Chains A and B, each alone.
Chain A
Amino acid sequence: MATLPAVSTNESAGRRWLPLVALIIVVLALAGAAEFAPIVMQRRITQGLINLVAVVGLYVFVGNSGVLSFGNVAFMAIGAYVSALLTMPAAAKGVFLPDLPAFLAAAEWPVLGGALAGGASAALVALVAGFPLMRLSGISASIATFAILVVTYVVLGNWTSVTGGQNSLMGLPIYVGLWTSAGWAVAAIVIAFLHQESRSGLLLRASREDEVAAVASGVHMVLHRLMAFVVSAFLSGISGVLLAHFLGTVRVETFYLDLTFLIMAMLVIGGMRSLTGAVAGAIVITALTELMRQAEVGVTIGTTTLAAPGGLGDVLLALLMLLIILFRPDGIAGGREISWPFRSSVAAPEIQSRKPQ
């Protein structure tokens, strides 16, 4: 890719990086606060940060291209399984997967290598699958990504010698805690931001606005879509790795429709047209789900337990998504990036005072 055209003024150069800094601060503050929280709460926040990586990964493609992807959870699954197979102790693999090819059976990679290999494998699958699929547009492209999800699910669920099929893989090194997930969340935000600010990201957003006008301006849309799809798959793969090594087990059922809906709801509710929206969605929905979970457990007073009916959380999530789509289609962030409050209040009246022509 060619270099980024230099921004020609100092003023916008500094302000450009502001959303990135703000989002990193939010993530670090969240993790820092969790440090003082009870262990259960800490685990919830860790899980929230893993979700954040997944949502940011989804955003890289969906937000910039305007094409919905139902396939990113498949990339999570690929990342999770690849990392699991590379990092599990050989002894554990001998028990669960006796038919594993020799090079995999013996592999005991360091966890970071496993994570990167997981992300890279997901990216590679996205590259191969995306090559034909990125030529489709609109709803056909979305349906095609759904096919990726289904195919991956079926393959992983039946490739018994390598994945254990429907059985869980257990004994993964559990190394993902609060700060590992926070570190990857920051990394994901940086990668997504750099992609968004790159020439490729800009050209892709132009094609989201107006495909014909963008292509007529010289944008090679398929190429930039494919590039975003690959970056998106890498981050989704990483989030799958994190989830696997947070739980210590991998099951193919984890990576299917429920998770797809959850990640997508986070992006839609937060706002799919800005990175701020992706981050906000992950945080807000994780917090809400946690509240609902506690409501479903209920409070015990004496001998009676007051609890919300089971499944309330899912119903509320669906309801919230519906309300957002109806009344605030650009989500919580409204398609904008985070900025200092006083900056935006300076910009606002300027728009109002525009001379009518």
Chain B
Amino acid sequence: MTVPRDLTSPGGRLVELGGLVIRYGAIAAVQGVDLAIDAGEAVAIVGPNGAGKTSLLSAIAGIVRPSAGSIRIAGRPLAGIALSDVVREGVALVPEGRNIFGSLTVMENLRLGATPRRDASVSADIDRVFADFPILGERRDQPAGQLSGGEQQMLAIARAMLSRPRLLMLDEPSLGLAPNIVDKVYDILRQIRSQGVSLLLVEQNAARAFALADRACVMSRGVFTLAGTPAEIERHDAFDAAYFGVAMAKAGAA
């Protein structure tokens, strides 16, 4: 097991977690995590089920309140901000299972994404979404629940982007999707990143996430066990162990 490297980097810092602890009753899902994400950076968090990845994202999105530690968005503490205002700080989450509003139409889902905005260019942005995803345009008046899994994922990402976030967080964006759809999803994420939006990605599919990310963290049992560039992590002996939870895999080979 490796001691996590200091991830903080100077200047343009968007998100800063300090000693983050999240407890659900007696269970501690996250047990002291430090993380900093700079503007325009893509960070991947990988790890086995139950490592605390989703809890971490939920905390940054304001859905779960941390038991200890601090979260700062662009230097501002998140603690005093109501959940409905977190999105106004520029943080958007595409949760696992996508959480689209199934009985509302595609159009209504997109309008909802723009809830925090008061500017006049919402319609133009929605038209751009339809240009990028023609299938969403064709189904604009259909209940979103009737879309296929891949279409729902596109809608969920488009909806989150309509809030014009500085940080887009995605929880398992490839889960349950066919490989060609996953390709498409990651193409979109690459595009979003090129617009200067920071990404925080939680993935089971480490290969996909590593191909996109500038930095990666391996999470296990509520802590980061490894951190570095994706290439560094893939080379690391402890990676497979932490990821699959089988310590002997590489130990046997050594």
Contacts and interface: CB of A to CB of B under 8 A. Distances in A.
Nearest to B103: A209
Given A5-B122, A357-B177, A213 B101 contact: yes
Given A5-B122, A8-B126, A218 B115 contact: yes
Contacts, number: 90
A205 B105 CA distance: 11
Interface stretch (A38-46, A286-294, A347-355): A347-355
B122 A202 contact: no
A241 interface: no
Contacts of A12: 107, 140-141
Interface in A1-48: 2, 5-9, 12, 15
B112 A202 contact: yes
B61 A216 contact: yes
Contact of B87 (A2, A210, A212, A217): A217
Contacts of A347: 142
Interface in B91-144: 93, 95, 99, 101-104, 107-108, 111-116, 118, 122-124, 126-127, 130, 140-142
Contact of B62 (A209, A216, A356, A357): A216
B15 to A, nearest CB: 16
B187 interface: no
Given A9-B140, A357-B177, A357-B181, A212 B63 contact: yes
A206 B112 contact: yes
B83 A215 contact: yes
B188 to A, nearest CB: 16
A205 B104 contact: yes
Interface residues of B, number: 43
Interface stretch (B16-24, B41-49, B145-153, B237-245): B145-153
Pick the most buried of B84, B122, B142, B146: most chain A CB atoms within 10 A of its CB: B84
B101 A214 contact: yes
Contacts of A205: 101, 103-104, 108
A253 to B, nearest CB: 39
Nearest to B95: A213
A121 B149 CA distance: 48
Interface of A: 2, 5-9, 12, 15, 199, 202-203, 205-206, 209-210, 212-221, 273, 335, 347, 350-351, 354-357
18 contacts: A7-B123, A12-B107, A202-B104, A202-B111, A202-B112, A205-B108, A209-B103, A215-B84, A216-B83, A216-B87, A219-B84, A219-B115, A220-B84, A335-B103, A347-B142, A351-B142, A357-B149, A357-B181
